[in-house]
């Protein structure tokens, strides 16, 4: 691990992200059992995979047995547990101590161990170039202030020929448009953009959502080869009244809130 990334200064914007997610560990608000108990973690896992079943097809945990995997943004450790269970050499980081405490306790509850686990900023990863076979990040880098810098770090730490799997939010989705309707149009601010709504009214301050063209440009401009971009029509989309009209207008394959991106770092010449 690199030592030059320790104790990176935190901007006011990054501090807001840190405080939100340190208080609200991903999916933990949906568990009612005693915090950090095995039952608590199983409730989180049940909620997450019932509501986000597309995640398994995207991650393909069992395909990385014996591979060196980094998860950026472990949250409550739900996905991280699967990497360890499936036999990957699993390394994990998160911006918040609360997430690392959740994940560490969760692994202990099942008698499992990570290869490494610690607090780190996704814009300044503490790993050498070309360390991992796969860097994976589900719904994380769109929350950090400089998403492009985070993506560059994910790519940097993957070995040549290795893979990057990232989920970011899709701006052309029922979730995003419905949030604009509620937080801009109905508040008498119809001139406010979808970007403004994401920034101010989607989870932590400064959150972003991207079009497919923007996502493609962000990856290709950093030299990766895109394997696939898949938009998942989620349960969150289906809970809005906009899914059917948007599906008819744009096609259901184009409008899902979750945009899964699978890319590969080119082999060295």
> What pLDDT, on the 0 to 100 scale, is given for residue 2?
52
- Give the 3-state secondary structure of residue 216: helix
Domain boundaries defined on the chain: 12-170+200-240+256-264
Closest CA to 258 of 238, 248, 206, 86: 238
Predicted confidence (pLDDT) per residue in 187-237, tens digit: 999 999 999 999 999 999 999 999 999 999 999 999 999 999 999 999 999
Which one-letter DSSP state was computed for residue 182?
Answer: I
Query: 3-class secondary structure for 116-141?
Result: EEEECECCECCCCCCCEEEEEEECCC
Q: Name the pLDDT band for 1 (thresholds 50, 70, 90).
A: low
Phi, psi of 263 (to 5 degrees): -130, 165
* Cα–Cα distance for residue pair 25/22, rounded to 1 Å: 6
% the chain with pLDDT above 90: 93
Q: How confident is the model at residue 268 (pLDDT cuts 50, 70, 90)?
A: confident
* Rounded Cα distance, 71 and 90, in Å: 8
Is the Cβ–Cβ distance between 206 and 199 less than 8 Å?
A: yes
| Percent of the chain residues past pLDDT 70, beyond the cut | 97
Residue 37 clears pLDDT 50, i.e. is over it: yes
Write out the two tokens for 75. Answer: 């949250």
When pLDDT is averaged across residues 135-143 and rounded to a whole number, the result is 98
> Residue 241, exposed/middle/buried by CB under 10 A (0-12, 13-18, 19+)?
exposed
Contact 17, 143 (CB under 8 A): yes
What's the distance, CA 53 to chain centroid?
15
User: Whole-angstrom Cα distance, residue 183 to residue 138?
Assistant: 25
In angstroms, the CA 252 to CA 231 distance is: 9
Region 108-131: mean pLDDT is: 97
* pLDDT tens digit sequence for 65-90: 999 999 999 999 999 999 999 999 99
Residue with tokens 């020929």: 161
Residue 5: the pLDDT is 44
The counts of H helices and E strands in the chain are 11, 7
Question: 185-212 in b/e burial notation, b at 16+ Cβ within 10 A?
Answer: eeeeeeebebeebbeebbbbbbbbbbee
Task: Tell the burial category of 214 from Cβ atoms under 10 Å away from its Cβ (0-12, 13-18, 19+).
Answer: middle
Regarding the domain with residue range 12-170+200-240+256-264, which homologous superfamily does it belong to in the CATH classification?
Vaccinia Virus protein VP39 (3.40.50.150)
Cα separation, 10 vs 119, whole angstroms? 13
> Pairing state of beta strands 258-264 and 225-232?
antiparallel
């Amino acid at each position: 691990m690199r030592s030059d990334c320790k104790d990176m200064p935190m901007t006011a914007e990054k501090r807001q992200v840190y405080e939100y997610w340190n208080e609200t560990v991903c999916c933990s608000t949906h568990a009612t059992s005693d915090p950090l108990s095995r039952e608590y973690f199983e409730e989180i896992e049940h909620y997450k995979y019932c509501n986000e079943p597309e995640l398994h097809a995207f991650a393909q945990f069992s395909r990385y047995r014996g591979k060196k995997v980094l998860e950026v943004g472990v949250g409550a450790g739900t996905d991280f547990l699967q990497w360890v269970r499936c036999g990957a050499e699993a390394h994990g980081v998160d911006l918040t101590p609360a997430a690392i405490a959740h994940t560490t306790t969760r692994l202990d509850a099942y008698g499992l161990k990570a290869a490494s686990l610690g607090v780190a900023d996704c814009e300044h990863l503490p790993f050498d170039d070309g360390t991992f076979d796969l860097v994976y990040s589900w719904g994380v880098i769109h929350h950090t202030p400089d998403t492009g810098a985070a993506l560059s770090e994910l790519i940097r730490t993957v070995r040549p020929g290795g893979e990057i799997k990232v989920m970011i939010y899709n701006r052309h989705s029922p979730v995003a448009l419905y949030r604009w309707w509620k937080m801009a149009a109905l508040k008498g601010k119809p001139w406010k953009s979808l970007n403004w709504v994401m920034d101010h009214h989607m989870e932590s301050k400064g959150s972003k959502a991207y079009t497919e063209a923007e996502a493609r440009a962000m990856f290709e401009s950093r030299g990766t080869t895109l394997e696939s971009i898949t938009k998942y029509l989620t349960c969150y989309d289906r809970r809005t009244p906009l899914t059917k009209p948007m599906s008819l207008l744009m096609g259901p394959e184009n409008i899902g809130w979750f945009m899964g991106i699978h890319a590969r770092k080119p082999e060295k010449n």
